[in-house]
A and B are shown apart, each in its own frame.
Chain A
Amino acid sequence: MRLVVSVVPVAIGWGMMLAGCDRIPLEQPAATDAVASWDGLYMTQCAGCHGADGVRGPARPLADPAYLATVSREDLIRVIARGQGTFMPAMGTVAGGTLADAEIERLVDGMRKVWGKEGAALATPWAGAPGSAQAGGAVYASFCQSCHGAPDGRSAGSAGSVTDANYLRLVSDQALRSAVLFGRRDLGGACNGPYDGQPRDRRLSAQDVADVVAFLASRRPESGRSTR
């Protein structure tokens, strides 16, 4: 009797262990080091934020011919290697990331060759200093308000607020500028025109772009950008 009482729990224990054996996860995930092609790099390193196939991710689309034709190769390499001090991480080994210089170059060349094909560079350069916030307010009212709503929140737009303080604390001026220059066409965001109630071929001048970026930047709270 005593033997039975003590043997049974031990037997159950062993039985449970044996039964559980096939349920124990043992496989290692496939190593990603082997990936060498530029699209492989993109899929493992960038797709999480910039979207599969370079579109429709939370961060701006990279599969955008006009964008890739306007930004210089050096700027792309610099942004990828060093990050933007925002949620765009520094991916290069130079700044603590995992991508070697050669890998970043291969990635950039691949993107430009495949996604940047047939892209025409804009007249307005990719980067530029902010202009006048006051003039920017007027630009915003006539070109952006219909989709993004009034800055004071009195009317909401279908595309969501870009004057929200928390939003502005999280993005760089360059991200704002890129949005105005190239829009978010992957999401139907025609931030760069054509605009409602404006002539179809009306485009923002370089000055307009600088002004509206300055306007948005001026709406950031005193505490400034929440940088990483």
Chain B
Amino acid sequence: MLRGLKAIIGWTEDRSGMIGVVTPIITHRVPRNAKWWYVFGSATLMFFCIQLVSGTLLATLYAPSAADAYQSLVYIDTQVPMGWMLRAIHGWSSNAMVLMVVVHMLQVFLHGAFKFPRELTWMVGVLLLFCTLALAFTGQIMRWDQDAYWGLGIGASIVDRVPVLGNQLRNIMLGGPYIGGATLSRFFALHVFVLPGLTIALVGLHLWLILRNGVSEMPKVGEPVVPATYRRDFEARTERTGVPFFPDAAQRDMVFCGLALIVVVGLAALYGPFGPNGNPDPTVIDANPRPDGAFLWIFAALALLPAQVETFLLLAAPPVIVLLLLAIPLISPRGERAPTRRPVSVLAMLLVCTALAALTWLGVTSPWSPVMDAWTSVPTPVRLVERLTPLQMQGALVMQYQQCRNCHAIDGTGGMRGPDLGDVGSRLSWDQLVRQVQQGGGNMPAYGKTLSAAETVAVVAFLQACRTDGQPPAFIPGALERAASGDLPPVAAPVAAPPAAP
């Protein structure tokens, strides 16, 4: 029996040579002092594998169409045996993966492990960080609930700000001017095909580079990296004092991964799956959804940035951040690795960490400027009500009912997320108002699909009436103005309905 097995293995090995390739890999020598610090990378990999398995299972149950997505999640949660657990593990393990990537990066940065000859390993790692974040973002879209809608709305409005190309990019991202069925299909393809494929390839490259260059030792004060001699010294040292990766170092990885796994499964069992939150109808916009944990800081930064620099920073910051991260090993490829000898790097890292932590915390706790009950509690100013036509009055009701007031003050009362609309009628023309309401932009969700044609006409008629006394309505000379002036005494303007949303 045993001999038969041996024969089969021997036969396969003779033809494939697999064992010959793999054995040196898993028993390669790693520095002896590579202790618990080094477990985070393995944990990330483990969580990625969990994502692959649980994600594949989910893909067999999930219906990636706008009409059915939400229902299929409810179905998985309630009808499929242990389906909720599957979703919970996929969700929690995704968060754990993001966390582990970040901790792993911090450790590598802190110990200067990105220096010669491991620069490329770091760069691939940076790409993996963004792949992981992209997976988390697109995964949140799969829930196809209000949070997903919100994430997309913000994303689209950021893309929208790109000069000249903004509109096209938005159409590419959403599969049309609005968030709809095409959007979900697009993000589904990204989430289950493109990004996992890319990630697997990059993980392979990352591992290959690690094997080629070895695992770095714990940094020692007074042992700077000198590229000319580093390779030789490193190899000699590991040859002398190193231990085989398997079983010595792998043991620690396994213990840590096991513990991490227990924690994640425990959290999943205790707190269950994420969402789906809120109405399945993506045309219902709730002004208070929050993005998933990893993106809360962006949400907070968006809310805190002063409006004047928002666009600039939103467009300039991402490329700068990516390039900076990629360039770190090029900026400092040699020299001391010990944190105590790199005070500036360590301080900068602490700065980034505290900033991210503070922003995330703010994202969790702050009400921001939306006032959540403004739609039922903050009245339309009487000075306006007194001169509105019945149609404009319905427009004021749209503002309440659709919770625009949670973000928009009128004459100083209401939410402060968007501009005060008390005099918007003298700033924006009819067509500009229609555009803003239907397409949103600049952190305002698009209402094109949410509002009927009559509601759009009513709300725009109301917005046009939002002026201080004596101010004429905004008017673009030469442009076709569809609404007559609403000066006192109010005259019901013959307003043509704007083209209905497709």
Residues of chain A at the chain B interface (Cβ within 8 Å) = 3, 6-7, 9-10, 13-14, 17, 24-29, 32, 43-49, 51-52, 56-59, 87, 89, 149, 153, 156, 158-162, 164-167, 169-171, 187, 226, 228
Contact at B367–A171, with CB atoms within 8 Å? Answer: no
State the 7 A-B residue pairs at the shortest beta-carbon distance, nearest first. A160-B389, A161-B492, A58-B396, A87-B397, A226-B452, A169-B454, A166-B454
Which residue on B lies nearest to A25, using beta carbons?
Answer: B366
The dominant DSSP class at the B interface is: helix
Point out which of B368, B390, B393 has the most chain A C-beta atoms below 10 A from its C-beta: B390
> Are A161 and B390 in contact, with the CB atoms below 8 A?
yes
> Smallest distance from the beta carbon of B262 to chain A beta carbons, Å?
35
B109 at the interface (CB under 8 A from A): no
Interface-located stretch among B26-34, B196-204, B376-384: B376-384
What is the size category of the interface that chain B forms with chain A? Answer: 35 or more
By a beta-carbon cutoff of 8 Å, the part of chain B in contact with chain A is 304, 344, 347-348, 351, 354-355, 358, 362, 365-369, 371-380, 382, 385-386, 388-394, 396-398, 400-401, 405, 452-455, 457-458, 489-492, 494-495, 497
Q: Which residues of B contact A32 (CB under 8 A)?
A: 373
Chain B residue numbers with a CB within 8 Å of A44 are 373, 376-377
Cβ distance B344 to chain A, nearest Cβ, rounded Å: 4
Q: How far is the CA of A87 from the CA of B366 in the complex (A)?
A: 29
Select from chain B the residue with minimum beta-carbon distance to A171: B394
List the A residue with the shortest CB-CB distance to B386. Answer: A187
State the CA gap A40–B394 with chains docked (Å): 25
Q: Are B391 and A160 in contact (CB under 8 A)?
A: yes
Contacts of A159 in B (CB 8 A): 389-390, 490
Tell me the complex Cα distance, A6–B347, Å: 11
B492 touches A43 (CB 8 A): no
Q: List 29 A-B contacts (CB under 8 A).
A: A10-B348, A13-B355, A17-B351, A17-B354, A17-B355, A24-B304, A25-B369, A45-B376, A47-B376, A48-B378, A48-B405, A49-B400, A51-B379, A51-B385, A58-B393, A149-B492, A159-B389, A159-B390, A159-B490, A160-B388, A160-B491, A161-B389, A161-B492, A164-B492, A165-B454, A166-B391, A166-B457, A166-B497, A170-B455
Kindly state the separation between the CA atoms of A9 and B345 in the bound complex, as whole angstroms.
11
Report chain A residues within 8 Å CB of B398. Answer: 87
- Minimal beta-carbon separation of A207 from chain B (angstroms): 24
CA A32 to CA B375, docked complex, whole Å: 14
Indicate if the CB atoms of A226 and B492 lie closer than 8 Å.
no
B400 touches A48 (CB 8 A): yes
What is the distance, in angstroms, from A70's C-beta to the closest C-beta of chain B?
22
